Structure 1
Amino acid sequence: MKPDHARNMRLIGHSDQGGRRDGIQIMVEKGFAYIGHLFSQGFSIVDVRDPKNPKPAGYVAAPANTWNVHLQVADNLLLVIHGKDVFADSAFADEASYYKAAAGTALGTARHEKARDWDAGLAVYDISTPGQPRRIGFMPVSGGIHRIWWTGGKWAYVSALLDGFSDFIFMTVDMSDPANPREAGRYWLPGMNLEAGEKPNWAANAKYGLHHAIVDGDTAWGAWRDAGLVVIDVADRSKPNLVVHRNWSPPFQGGTHNCLPLPDRDLLVVLDEAVLDDFEDGLKNIWIFDVKDRANPIPVATMPVPQDAHYATRGAHYGPHNIHENRPDTFQSSSIIFSTWQNAGVRVFDISDQYRPREVGALVPPPPTGLMDKRPGKKPIIQSCDIFVDKAGLIYVTDYNAGLYVMEFNG
């Protein structure tokens, strides 16, 4: 299998995930990859003990009208989100109708407008037998969860859609009893609690909702989509408090998706996600912030955009989607950043000099053999989505249509 473009990287393996080639978040643990699906309503397990020959090893179906796009692995447990399968709903055939509206409004949870036809909450699986998840617990969340940050231990952190709120908010979850996770605390931007009479002071087409937060110590670095960066103090998990809110949309395009702290360098890598086809939402950036003072984050650079082709005119999504998040027991670096750029594949950056980041690796896989995304107007163009780099440096990349790729970086 020959990539469309490669620089200091090579493809070593591929899996069609048992015919369910759509993938969002991926976690690799003890030789097995756990992959949330965007269109296949569930999650898959792939045996990657031989990374050159990954093999489908199982599939767990989601309830009707429900997706399991995001998941986390630690402590022999797998946490899986349950939320509305947005793109199976004809109302969202045009992605803009989801990304240009508050989730609570779009899904009818903000003011209880619609009957609930999906499963909503956090599922917990025992994976002490690798590759064989066994469900042991569930925490209901009224509108559902979008993404989780959990690296083991007592505390998990989720973006939760609650009845009466305009969009996803920050929630701390007590995992002391994995069979019975429970909410411990919550934080939202003022204006989001519609049921309490709060009124948004942002435009109706701005998506002011938490994608997810990465937590380091007692600080949660929240990627709040069109609201930018929200820094939250979680020293008291029952009462998260705002440290600072920074937003650059407008004049920039919003869509903040990841906020990765590099604590040994007092830096924060912040990615704004491209969410619309044909470059409709314009250039999105991966920013580098100086966070010596967490209450005063200062942008100092952006990653260079791909120069090997004019990806903005290729169609489908072009621009950043995700970064490897330096989880414990994975590849960890405060100078090498792995990222996915959808139709521009995978990009690796060296930020040893945070003021002058450099692209040092790239790989654009070949086009998908078919489409899992059946929405009108979709094209067979690579859409590299999530990225996970294991301790040995092997890179696992999902795609909306093309299955799982395993890669190496030789930079």
Structure 2
Amino acid sequence: MIKEDMYKESRAGAFPEADGHGCISSHVKRIGHQDTPGGAQLVYQDGYLFVGHISPPAGTSIFDVRDPRNPSLAATIELPDSQSHSHKVMVHGDLMIVNSQRHRRKFFRKSEALDSVEARLALEFGRRPTEKEIAQALNVKPEDIDTLRAELENGYTNGGFRIYDISNPARPRALSFQPTGGMGAHGFDFDGQYAYVSTEMDGFRGNI
């Protein structure tokens, strides 16, 4: 309802027209802009903006925004593999933590159901199901089945989180990688000493 009201107000001229970048704002004024290869979580600390990206190979970007009218790219961290994304970032003091999670995890999660779906359809049809029938049951394209079978066979082993030294934000230095299993780390918080991570480590999936 709120979105609908805002839309009606904007159509009625209550909001200003969009600027050259498609931005519409009311009671706030944009003073700077910086293109990025897509972003998810953004964290600000001491004049720097830390941006986690959603699609590989982009991992994390660090922008110098001490002059907000002229933001500039201070550093980039690319992902070490094409299977992961690193869209979450937290900073505290001289430390930065970023996640490593299976890219397109909701799609690849369907691989876990392949065997049970195929068995259910075989029982239902009295014969081995076709790729098309399996795909329909999983709500994917028939050409996706081979990709899901490969995922089921090979698994995903790069899930976890990475810790960086950002005492010099322009030169982040990798300190460690903590594997967590499963599809990797998703949401987390960090207080400078402890990281509170939502993950799928053995024995903790579905538990706290």
Please give the TM-score of this superposition, normalised by the length of structure 1.
0.33
Q: Residues 367-395 of structure 1, C-alpha deviation per residue, up to 9 Å, x if partnerless?
A: xxxxxxxxxxxxxxxxxxxxxxxxxxxxx
Distance in 2 between residues matched to 1:108 and 1:59, nearest whole Å: 34
Shift in alpha-carbon separation, 1:74–1:158, aligned structure 2, 3 A: same
Correspondence 1:55 to 2:72: yes
1:54, CA displacement in angstroms?
0.7
Distance in 1 between residues matched to 2:102 and 2:111, nearest whole Å: 8
Distance in 1 between residues matched to 2:63 and 2:111, nearest whole Å: 32
Distance in 1 between residues matched to 2:23 and 2:50, nearest whole Å: 26
1:76 maps to which of 94, 112, 115: 94
Letter in structure 2 aligned against 1:106? K
* Residue segments in structure 2 that go unaligned for 5+ positions in a row: 1-17, 116-150
8 A Cα contact 1:32 1:131, kept in partner = no
1:118, CA displacement in angstroms?
5.2
Correspondence 1:15 to 2:15: no
8 A Cα contact 2:56 2:84, kept in partner = no
Q: Residues 67-116 of structure 1, C-alpha deviation per residue, up to 9 Å, x if partnerless?
A: 111011003100010111117xxxxxxxxxx3xx8x8x43649x994422
Distance in 2 between residues matched to 1:80 and 1:145, nearest whole Å: 9
1:62, CA displacement in angstroms?
0.9
1:149 corresponding residue in structure 2: 189
Give the greater-gyration-radius structure (CA).
Answer: 2
Shift in alpha-carbon separation, 1:118–1:26, aligned structure 2, 3 A: farther
Distance in 1 between residues matched to 2:72 and 2:101, nearest whole Å: 28
* Residue segments in structure 1 that go unaligned for 5+ positions in a row: 88-97, 170-185, 188-411
Count of paired positions: 150
Correspondence 1:139 to 2:178: yes
8 A Cα contact 1:27 1:71, kept in partner = yes
Shift in alpha-carbon separation, 1:51–1:7, aligned structure 2, 3 A: same
Shift in alpha-carbon separation, 1:15–1:107, aligned structure 2, 3 A: farther
1:48, CA displacement in angstroms?
0.9
2:154 is paired with a residue whose SS is coil
How do 1:40-189 residues align onto structure 2 when only pairs under 5 Å count? 40-41=56-57, 42-64=59-81, 65-86=83-104, 98=106, 105-106=109-110, 108=112, 113-117=152-156, 119-143=158-182, 144-153=184-193, 155-162=194-201, 169=206, 187=208
1:80 is paired with a residue whose SS is strand
Bigger proportion of residues as helix: 2
Letter in structure 2 aligned against 1:30? D
Letter in structure 2 aligned against 1:7? S
Aligned CA RMSD, in angstroms, stands at 2.8
2:10 corresponding residue in structure 1: none
Bigger proportion of residues as strand: 1
Shift in alpha-carbon separation, 1:107–1:57, aligned structure 2, 3 A: farther
Work out the percentage of aligned pairs sharing the same amino acid: 30
1:27 is paired with a residue whose SS is strand
How do 1:179-328 residues align onto structure 2 when only pairs under 5 Å count? 187=208
Letter in structure 1 aligned against 2:110? A
1:106 is paired with a residue whose SS is helix
Distance in 2 between residues matched to 1:147 and 1:45, nearest whole Å: 20
